[in-house]
Chain A
């Protein structure tokens, strides 16, 4: 029996390459691309995500907003992983990798601005896209930028008529602001939510108390 040395994801990527080399017998459609992007985002494989996006756009494959949101998700997950392993690496290396991720996110956003749908219109962000972007910014420590993005999209609606900013995004920004010391903004975010979540309010209160304690002159 022939031993298979490659995994399914590599096989799928090989199919994608075969399609672009016009060796495959089938059309690699948007959903298939999304499946691949989702698989790579789960693995926090930023390079492959951006490569897929590049090649898809180059070969005029219809790329929807979900593909870009998956790419942003991969960047966010990679940043989280980096933060978790922060103690194991030097500051220089940490900062250089962080810069790479920031560049990657910048590239994804640039591609998103250039991308167009089937009818030639520019792609509109949906709640997945905003959520993943905000998540990435918060992981990166860019809380102010995340708050700005939030305020920009707060009153906007997507194609389906749903709000672009959902409660999950608001909660993430609220916690990030509370951790950064901006309790007022955190409370504003919580007030903007469609439903009150007591555990989040409690968490913000705890963070506020911790901030106040740290500001006291006789505190440890």
Chain B
């Protein structure tokens, strides 16, 4: 069906930490999702692995939604090619070659990158690393001067070994409004200070890349390298925002210790620190930072985080603008909670297990606090489908949106009906809210499925759906049915919601039955309003009589007046006449007599006067029905008596409607005529 689904059915298992669940997926599908989430993946350079599918995903970083500019992409390609010429053991640090073209490239690249985003260095590393180790080293140096701080790895390993490790400290790209708001706060609710946040923002991620570059002649170019790096660093300090400035020296030291990788205690301390920072970031509702810390902890350091923390992160991320992160987290949680295994079982087995678990919980009473697999799955998928409402074609690629939604819905379809009952209403609402119109049409399928399965949904839900009605997406779900359901449930939605949802159905000729149902609902609402109004008048008269007849105190009089004022707020559901005229035109076009009659009822209920257009459309509609010719002439008579002069167009139109023969015998005649024509051509 879709690209992602095609890839998912290839039954290739991905052994990834970020995409940890053993599901039917491959790297291509994952990269699609990662890419659309604004993330770029970096890969371990393992010479034993040759194919793309075997490459292990190491990390992904949130990136700017903007794509690489073509010119810049060309530069990257040239750079990686030029850096790929020397052998791995040869020094290829571009920052040391003053006169080389690479240096010029890197300088120009630096200024270009500075104007784009901080994700570019990562792309650079990825591009270079795909060529060879030397190119990776060159890219590394560039990234070093571009606020991706390394430990310089002066000592390095041998030329033949691939043991050199470096740690990158990525700057925090504070493009999220929430973050900026948090940055401006001096004191936060959880008691953390600005210093904590600054630290979190600067200590974003630590990537450990395994690569080796021969550093035999490092010392020769040390001075020149330092000078150029200093110049670029100064330029960066002048131009790069404060959040991208270098780390404090204390923090740099702490990460330098990780490079050695010898002292596990220090590493554990850093990991613990990461966990604390993650909790702090979640409390501060800093989504992007939390995701980066989560990935650092899980992907780089293979830490099994506390499930409560991850669940809190999941709930936080589900409100974020990147539902792709939610998808990653959901599968991480599925793996950790062993719920993924239940997904792989056949449906019957799952149902039996669920029944067993239900029986167990019934026997134990309320003693078991741990939720069952069904509850867990239901919760996870509910949050996932909830997060789909943040999909936006202006932020994400359309194909990626389509892939994500199709993947989630196909996974959802494998689940139990109980989870469907929990998730489908949320899914329908999410699909309705998200901004892609082509994806929004899928909401209708699930809405009809819910109606067919007779889900017991509250009327408030339908009222909520009505709020999301829009003109260009009025076909997403049957809004007339939602309106009817909400009214049948005893609700009286706000007039602006009701009237706009009905007016969004224009042109009504596309959905004439739906228009009839919607107008019927509006007429019912207005009739109720009229009844309330009549009751209010009676009540008001009675109260005024009481007030006049009784000698009461001023306080009591005020109270009675307030009660009278309460009655004033009666919701009126009155269409403008042009909408009714358009409906009448659609009814005349489609020959829907019931709708015309309902429009005349609506005119009475809403207290409107019929216009010439309404008369004309009524005449035309009646003239098309053999049994209603008399009514057409009656309406024509009424029209003239109401002071409207029939136009020549009406006379011609009515004559046209009458002279077209619309009886059974005429249809038979036309059919025979067509058959004769076909036979004639056949014999010719």
**Which residues of A pack against B, CB within 8 Å?**
3-9, 11-12, 15, 24-29, 31-32, 34-36, 38-39, 42-43, 66
Contact = CB atoms under 8 A, between A and B. Distances in A.
A27 B650 CA distance: 18
A171 to B, nearest CB: 21
B655 interface: yes
Contact of A7 (B651, B654, B662): B662
B584 to A, nearest CB: 19
A7 B636 contact: no
Given A6-B626, A43-B659, A38 B646 contact: no
20 contacts: A4-B663, A6-B626, A8-B625, A8-B629, A8-B662, A11-B626, A26-B633, A26-B637, A27-B637, A29-B640, A31-B636, A32-B633, A35-B623, A35-B636, A36-B655, A38-B654, A38-B655, A39-B655, A39-B658, A42-B659
Contacts of A5: 663-665
Contacts of B675: none
A8 B655 contact: no
Give 7 closest A-B pairs by Cβ, nearest first: A38-B655, A7-B661, A39-B659, A39-B655, A35-B654, A31-B646, A8-B658
A4 B651 contact: no
A28 B629 contact: no
B626 A8 contact: yes
Interface of B: 623-627, 629-630, 633-634, 636-637, 640, 646, 648, 650-652, 654-666
Given A9-B658, A12-B633, A34-B651, 16 more contacts: A4-B627, A7-B626, A8-B625, A8-B626, A8-B629, A8-B657, A8-B658, A8-B660, A11-B627, A15-B629, A24-B630, A26-B633, A28-B633, A35-B654, A36-B655, A39-B656
B655 A15 contact: no
Contacts of A43: 659
Nearest to B652: A38
Nearest to B660: A8
A32 B629 CA distance: 11
Contacts of A24: 630
B673 to A, nearest CB: 16
A63 B425 CA distance: 64
Contacts of B660: 8
Given A31-B640, A34-B651, A7 B633 contact: no
B525 to A, nearest CB: 34
Contacts of B664: 3-5
A7 B637 contact: no
Contacts of A39: 655-656, 658-659
Contacts of B637: 26-27, 29, 32
Given A8-B623, A31-B640, A35-B654, A26 B630 contact: yes
A7 B629 CA distance: 10
Nearest to B631: A26
Contacts of B662: 7-8
Contacts of B652: 38
A31 B652 CA distance: 11
Contact of B663 (A7, A15, A25, A38): A7
Nearest to A11: B629
A15 B630 contact: yes
A28 B632 CA distance: 11
Contacts of A7: 626, 661-663, 666
Given A3-B664, A11-B626, A29 B636 contact: yes
A9 B657 CA distance: 9
A5 B668 CA distance: 11
Contact of A8 (B648, B659, B665): B659
Contacts of A6: 626, 663
Given A8-B623, A26-B637, A32-B636, A38 B661 contact: no
A32 B654 CA distance: 9
Nearest to A35: B654
B658 to A, nearest CB: 5
B521 to A, nearest CB: 30
A71 to B, nearest CB: 13
Contacts of B626: 4, 6-8, 11
A43 B658 CA distance: 11
Name the residue in B626, B633, B661, B664 with the highest tally of chain A Cβ atoms < 10 Å from its Cβ.
Answer: B633
Contacts of A26: 630, 633-634, 637
Contacts of A42: 655-656, 659
Contacts of B659: 8-9, 39, 42-43
A72 to B, nearest CB: 16
A93 to B, nearest CB: 26
Contacts of A3: 664
Nearest to B659: A39
A43 to B, nearest CB: 6
A7 B658 CA distance: 8
Contact of B651 (A9, A15, A31): A31
| Residue of B624, B646, B650, B651 ringed by the most chain A CB atoms within 10 A | B651
Residue in A7, A28, A31, A66 with the greatest tally of chain B CB atoms within 10 Å: A31
A187 to B, nearest CB: 33
A184 B173 CA distance: 89
A35 B665 CA distance: 23
A38 B656 CA distance: 8
A5 to B, nearest CB: 6
B649 to A, nearest CB: 11
Q: Interface centre among B627, B654, B658, B660, by most A CB within 10 Å?
A: B658
Contacts of A34: 651
B604 to A, nearest CB: 21
Nearest to A28: B633
A34 B633 CA distance: 11
Contacts of B634: 25-26
A24 B634 CA distance: 10
A28 B654 CA distance: 15
A210 to B, nearest CB: 35
A35 B653 CA distance: 9
A164 to B, nearest CB: 17
B640 A38 contact: no
Nearest to B647: A31
A38 B650 CA distance: 11
A32 B651 CA distance: 8
Contacts of B656: 39, 42
A29 to B, nearest CB: 6
B399 to A, nearest CB: 53
A27 B636 CA distance: 10
Contacts of B663: 4-8
B651 A35 contact: yes
B625 to A, nearest CB: 8
B651 A38 contact: yes
B385 to A, nearest CB: 48
A204 B626 CA distance: 48
Given A6-B626, A26-B630, A27-B637, A35 B655 contact: yes
A8 B622 CA distance: 11
A24 to B, nearest CB: 7
Contacts of A27: 637
B593 to A, nearest CB: 14
A26 B634 CA distance: 6
A29 B650 CA distance: 14
A6 B660 CA distance: 12
